[in-house]
Amino acid sequence: MSIMSESENKLIKNYLNSVKQKLPEWLKWKEEELKNVLDDLEAQLYGEARAISGGEELTDADIKEAIGRMGTPESIANLYKSRGTPKFYLTQELFDFYLRTLLFF
């Protein structure tokens, strides 16, 4: 595996940060799931860039083309937004009431 230049690394980090900012709030709250999503995206980016470079050392152009193929941060985030927002039917304030109701019926 070739060593990434600082500018290549910065291109990828900036892209991942942009994606992270656009992701839905419910995903941002789940730190481990968020980390997995960003790690997977980073691995896909590197894989795509390596395919573009044809096994040669990666260049900024390879990284930029890979990012272009992946899509805009908005389009990546929309994949997660289309899953919908998890619904919370019970608020913390009503939870005690809910438990008491369950125990009496």
Judged against a pLDDT cut of 90, whether residue 67 lies above it is answered with yes
Parse the chain into domains and list their residue ranges: 6-104
pLDDT at 1: 44
pLDDT band, residue 9 (cuts 50/70/90): confident
Cα 53 to Cα 1, 3, 39, 46: the distances in Å are 12, 14, 21, 10
Residues 6+ apart with CB under 8 A from 57: 2
pLDDT at 84: 57
Q: How far is CA 27 from its chain centroid?
A: 8
pTM over 0.95: no
For the segment 67-84, the average pLDDT, to the nearest whole number, is 86
Could you read off the pLDDT of 30-64 as tens digits, one per residue? 899 999 999 999 999 999 999 999 989 999 999 99
Task: Tell me the three-class secondary structure of 38-67, residue by residue.
Answer: HHHHHHHHHHHHHHHHCCCCCCHHHHHHHH
For the chain, helix, strand, coil in percent to 5 are 75, 0, 25
